[in-house]
Amino acid sequence: MNAPEFKKEGEEFTIWFFEGILERNPNYIDCLMYLANTYTAQGMYEKGLLTDQKLCRLKPESPLVHYNLACSYALLKNINAAFEALKRAIMLGYKDIYHLERDEDLAHLREDVRYQKLIEKLKFS
């Protein structure tokens, strides 16, 4: 096989593969979630954000989807939108303080006074 797509490796292949699946089934939730994480891991933050926004439309009550959206906004330094998404994630039931405090995607939020308020709210809820 000499097709160029089969010369792709690692994450480049993963992205190509999942984008291909989504061409046929654009609302495949698990595929969208994996692709969003892969985009982010590869530094493709804008694509990750667009995918997370789509996931929020498809799964508006998912705390994890809103948490991931907050991460995407934070990576793009859209701090206000990141806090809104994070507040929504917590309101919907996100409670993993351990992960929240260590997630490097949220590093830009930790300098903001709102971050500590969210952590305190989580600890006492």
Name residues whose C-beta falls within 8 Å of residue 41's C-beta, 6 or more positions apart in sequence.
11
Helices marked H in 59-109: 63-75, 79-91, 97-102
Q: Phi, psi (5° rounding) for residue 92?
A: -80, -10
pLDDT of residue 5: 55
pLDDT of residue 10: 85
What is the mean pLDDT, run by run of 10 residues, along the chain of 125 residues?
62 93 97 96 97 98 98 98 97 94 96 92 83
Tokens standing for residue 94: 């996100």
pLDDT of residue 30: 97
Domains in the chain, ordered, with CATH? Answer: 4-123 (1.25.40.10)
pLDDT of residue 15: 95
